[in-house]
Chains A and B, each alone.
Chain A
Amino acid sequence: MTHLTILPILVPMLAGILLLLPPSGKNLKARRFTSLTMALVSLFVAGLLFNHSLTGEIAVYAIGNWQAPYGIVLVADIMASMLVLLTSFLALCCVIYSLGGDDEAGSFFHPLLHFLLLGVNGAFLTGDLFNLFVFFEVLLIASYALLMHSSDKQKTQAAIHYVVLNLIGSSIFLIALGIMYGVLGTLNIADMAHKIATLSGDDVALVKIGGLLLLVVFALKAAVIPLQFWLPATYSAALPVVAAMFAIMTKVGVYSIIRVYNTVFGEQAGELTQIDSTWLWPAALVTIAFGTLGVLAAKGFRQVIANLVVVSVGTLVAAVTFNSQHATGAALYYLIHSTLITAGLFLLAGLVAKQRGKVGDRLVPARPIANPMLLGSCFILLVLSVVGMPPLSGFVGKVWLLQASMAAELHTWFWPLYLVSSLLVLISMTRAGSQLFWRHSSKQAIEVKLSRWQISALLLVASCAPLLSLFAGVISDVTMEAAAQIHDVSTYSNAVLGKSMEGR
């Protein structure tokens, strides 16, 4: 199984190609079958990789057998493989949901979804910063096209903003990489961590510039203030199933922040250690505040959820700046929870909007929903979880994060802000729920049959809320182990560079 590490990248690529070729290219049934099968295979492969990484061994795969630091390596530690598993699961749910009819709304939905999966998996697994850039571009171009899926005017507008912003981001990413390469002479993450310790004089300042430029890019992807303004418009314009898949994309930015600033700018980096914290800590707090205000002000249910994504990013980034193993473990648990729950909410918003006719997901009284029991129960489950009420997954993550902030002695700022934000989110979710489910106009409910695919996808995601808290012990053990690996830079670079380190 030496090639296991690269399979989560190869399988979606193969899927994307198969879906474009005959017979899947023309025939809708064949395309759906292939897409579903390949999504299952991706999930299976990701599960195998995760299972392998649980042994504690960091799997390193040198592409083309060109050894690090000269070749490109893929590195699967627990964090990376866990996120790959999460992404594959999310992709499977989105594929299942789309079988209910959303995939017919435009062309190439299935291939694009698999290409997006390819890009995200690659970004999680790569051990090389330039390769990270390449995978960012792969996932971005897939996301541009998915955003335009079944397009209308509103989408075109959101897409232009999103594309232009991300292209500027890519330019900044390349400038940062140029600076780093010019000084360090390498772009392999492990090798950079090794070389950064030997810098002196002006080189330190140059690397600092490069590192902070990288932070700008990652903050743009993760939607940290002041670079988050694109997110609510983009996510609320996208088709619900696409928005659900996008829930993982901000997490790619957060993952990159965790990876780069704990490894390259880890404790061995001298005065460059954790250069992100000074900037990220206040930014994270303001992001939480801004996201909460956005939730309160939103006029549509999807906008509410998009702003919830901003809140969750702020929370995650705050946890990252605590710089402790405990906090990183908490952040990883919260990351899994928030990705799945926001994705579930987006899927739910799609179904609710469908049953309310013309009004869609706008928070105004409209005709009653035809299946209030099913959708309402899912709504309660997901909302209680996202707000952080016991006994669901949000509560576990929240308490853990609050504890971690206590240990980092930053609780005087974090506690009041985070708790008030939760309260405000609860209030606005209550308002949204009563508008969507209880306040009707005099019109009759329209019979829009929900497809069983859509319902099963929604139930699959919604069931994660109780499951994540039921198995919180097991999952938190794994995330703590992952956090321990992240903070142990020397084991990481030994695994990647191996014997070539000993000669130096």
Chain B
Amino acid sequence: MELLYACCVGVLVSCGIFLLLRARTFPVVLGLTMLSYAVNLFLFASGRLVVNQAAVLGYSTSYSDPLPQALVLTAIVIGFAMTAFVVILAIRGRADLGHDHVHMAFPKLKKGNK
């Protein structure tokens, strides 16, 4: 299970970084989302991976660490809000600037040189 889990996180991170390095806002937003999924999984694993253990103290003699679950929940909520914001901002950028290049100075420079 650990191997599968680690591979999942690794693949998500590498996909995320690959997409972040693209020069357009839409892949960058997707990359950020991938990265935040990977981070959530990683945070969850920081309490150690165990099976068949209750999540809450007091209901079982052996229990899994509840704190990482609370952390992940917070991280998901914040990540969700931030993704929503960056999507809106990307649409706004597309409307304002007429293109979706991340490196927006590039087309501008060309105009100036004419």
Which residues of A are in contact with B by a Cβ distance under 8 Å?
A: 130, 134, 137, 141, 144, 148, 151, 153, 156-157, 159-161, 163-164, 167-168, 170-171, 174-175, 177-179, 181-182
Known A171-B39, A178-B45, A181-B46: A153·B82 in contact at CB below 8 Å? no
In chain B, residues 71-95, which have Cβ atoms closer than 8 Å to a Cβ of chain A? 71, 74-75, 78-79, 81-82, 85-86, 89-90, 92-93
Q: Are A177 and B25 in contact (CB under 8 A)?
A: no
Q: Are A156 and B96 in contact (CB under 8 A)?
A: yes
Give bound CA distance, A141 to B35, whole Å: 19
CB distance from A460 to the nearest CB of B (A): 33
Residues of A contacting B42 in the complex (Cβ-Cβ under 8 angstroms):
174-175, 178
| Number of chain B interface residues as a range | 20 to 34
Q: Are B104 and A137 in contact (CB under 8 A)?
A: no
Give bound CA distance, A144 to B68, whole Å: 28
Q: Are A178 and B46 in contact (CB under 8 A)?
A: yes
Known A130-B74, A171-B35: A181·B82 in contact at CB below 8 Å? no
Give bound CA distance, A171 to B35, whole Å: 7
Give bound CA distance, A242 to B90, whole Å: 22
Give bound CA distance, A159 to B96, whole Å: 12
Query: Is there a chain A Cβ closer than 8 Å to B97's Cβ?
Result: yes
Known A157-B97, A177-B71: A164·B28 in contact at CB below 8 Å? yes
Known: A181-B71, A182-B47. 20 other contacts (CB 8 A): A130-B71, A130-B74, A141-B85, A156-B89, A157-B97, A157-B104, A157-B105, A160-B104, A163-B85, A164-B32, A168-B20, A170-B78, A170-B82, A174-B39, A174-B42, A177-B43, A177-B46, A178-B68, A179-B46, A182-B48
Q: Are B86 and A167 in contact (CB under 8 A)?
A: yes
CB distance from A37 to the nearest CB of B (A): 29
The contact of B93 among A130, A141, A157, A167, by CB within 8 Å, is A157
Residues of B contacting A182 in the complex (Cβ-Cβ under 8 angstroms):
45-48
CB distance from B37 to the nearest CB of A (A): 10
Give bound CA distance, A284 to B66, whole Å: 40
CB distance from B31 to the nearest CB of A (A): 9
Residues of A contacting B71 in the complex (Cβ-Cβ under 8 angstroms):
130, 177, 181
CB distance from A66 to the nearest CB of B (A): 12
Could you list some 23 contacts between A and B, CB below 8 A?
A137-B82, A153-B97, A156-B92, A157-B104, A157-B105, A159-B89, A160-B104, A161-B102, A164-B20, A164-B102, A167-B36, A170-B79, A171-B36, A171-B38, A174-B43, A175-B42, A177-B46, A178-B39, A178-B42, A178-B68, A181-B46, A181-B47, A182-B47
CB-based closest 7 A-B pairs:
A182-B46, A178-B46, A174-B39, A178-B43, A156-B96, A157-B104, A181-B46
Give bound CA distance, A141 to B80, whole Å: 12
Q: Are A153 and B67 in contact (CB under 8 A)?
A: no
Residues of A contacting B93 in the complex (Cβ-Cβ under 8 angstroms):
156-157, 159-160
CB distance from B39 to the nearest CB of A (A): 5
Residues of A contacting B32 in the complex (Cβ-Cβ under 8 angstroms):
164, 167-168, 171
Give bound CA distance, A157 to B81, whole Å: 20
B86 (CB) vs chain A CBs: closest residue: A163
Residues of B contacting A179 in the complex (Cβ-Cβ under 8 angstroms):
46
User: Which one of A141, A159, A163 has the greatest number of beta carbons of chain B within 10 Å?
Assistant: A163
A180 (CB) vs chain B CBs: closest residue: B46
B42 (CB) vs chain A CBs: closest residue: A178
Give bound CA distance, A168 to B39, whole Å: 11
Give bound CA distance, A156 to B97, whole Å: 8
Residues of B contacting A141 in the complex (Cβ-Cβ under 8 angstroms):
81-82, 85
Known A156-B96, A181-B71: A134·B78 in contact at CB below 8 Å? yes
Residues of A contacting B47 in the complex (Cβ-Cβ under 8 angstroms):
181-182
Give bound CA distance, A175 to B45, whole Å: 11
The contact of B75 among A153, A160, A174, A181, by CB within 8 Å, is A174
CB distance from A189 to the nearest CB of B (A): 16
CB distance from B42 to the nearest CB of A (A): 5
Residues of B contacting A137 in the complex (Cβ-Cβ under 8 angstroms):
78, 82
In chain B, residues 13-42, which have Cβ atoms closer than 8 Å to a Cβ of chain A? 20, 25, 28, 32, 35-36, 38-39, 42
Q: Are B46 and A164 in contact (CB under 8 A)?
A: no
Residues of B contacting A151 in the complex (Cβ-Cβ under 8 angstroms):
96
Give bound CA distance, A148 to B104, whole Å: 17
Residues of B contacting A175 in the complex (Cβ-Cβ under 8 angstroms):
39, 42
Give bound CA distance, A268 to B75, whole Å: 31
Q: Are A134 and B74 in contact (CB under 8 A)?
A: yes
Residues of B contacting A159 in the complex (Cβ-Cβ under 8 angstroms):
89, 93
Residues of A contacting B102 in the complex (Cβ-Cβ under 8 angstroms):
160-161, 164
Residues of A contacting B82 in the complex (Cβ-Cβ under 8 angstroms):
137, 141, 163, 167, 170
Give bound CA distance, A157 to B107, whole Å: 13
Give bound CA distance, A179 to B45, whole Å: 10
A160 (CB) vs chain B CBs: closest residue: B93
CB distance from A207 to the nearest CB of B (A): 13
Give bound CA distance, A57 to B68, whole Å: 32
Known A156-B92, A157-B93: A181·B35 in contact at CB below 8 Å? no
Known A134-B74, A157-B93: A144·B85 in contact at CB below 8 Å? yes
Residues of A contacting B89 in the complex (Cβ-Cβ under 8 angstroms):
144, 148, 156, 159-160, 163
